[in-house]
Amino acid sequence: MEPTPGRLATRASWLITQAAVHARRAVSEGFAEAGARGYHYRVLAALREFGPASQAKLGQRCRMDRSDVVAAVTELEAKGFVERSADPADRRRNTVTITGAGIRRLGRLDRALDDVQDELLAPLSATERQALIALLGKLLEHHGGAPSP
């Protein structure tokens, strides 16, 4: 591998971007091995944590485009991981609910993602991993991203 120019190698923005490239590839490969996509994980995780939701609310919570939410929900519904039904308060809107099979699927995807995290963060100690997660969360929160848990 060719050396990176010092002007780049000492810039947080460059380092974050390069780490994100590796992370995205590793996560995509990990989910692909499990027969899933990242969008599936996002939707299942949101439904498990927050309960049934409209497709629009899922898009907001998961930071997904509306068409991607519809596609992911359709794929998950076809496999029995979610159920979609008309919202009793507004029959024009669908409410999506995770099923028992979806909860089990989410558990398997959690384990696949844990393996990816372990490999991605292998050079870091447990303390360094926690610090990195806290610092990245702080940056995202400051810039209007997801608040820290």
- pLDDT tens for 99-144 read 999 999 999 999 999 999 999 999 999 999 999 999 999 999 999 8
In the numeric block, which tokens belong to residue 91?
A: 């029959």
Element (H, E) at 24: helix 12-33
In the numeric block, which tokens belong to residue 123?
A: 């050079």
Q: How many CA atoms lie within 13 A of 146 on its CB side?
A: 12
Distance between CA 127 and CA 111 in Å, rounded? 21
Question: What is the phi/psi pair of residue 82, to 5°?
Answer: -140, 160
Distance between CA 53 and CA 40 in Å, rounded? 15
What is the pLDDT, as a whole number, of residue 91? 79
pLDDT tens-digit readout, 28-53:
999 999 999 999 999 999 999 999 99
Q: Considering only 8-22, 23-37, 87-101, 106-120, which range has the smallest mean pLDDT?
A: 87-101
In the numeric block, which tokens belong to residue 112?
A: 């696949």
Q: List CB contacts of 132: < 8 A, sequence separation 6 or more.
A: 121, 124
What pTM does this model have?
0.87
Distance between CA 38 and CA 31 in Å, rounded? 7
Question: What is the phi/psi pair of residue 95, to 5°?
Answer: -110, 135
SS3 track for 44-72: HHHHHHHCCEEHHHHHHHHCCCHHHHHHH
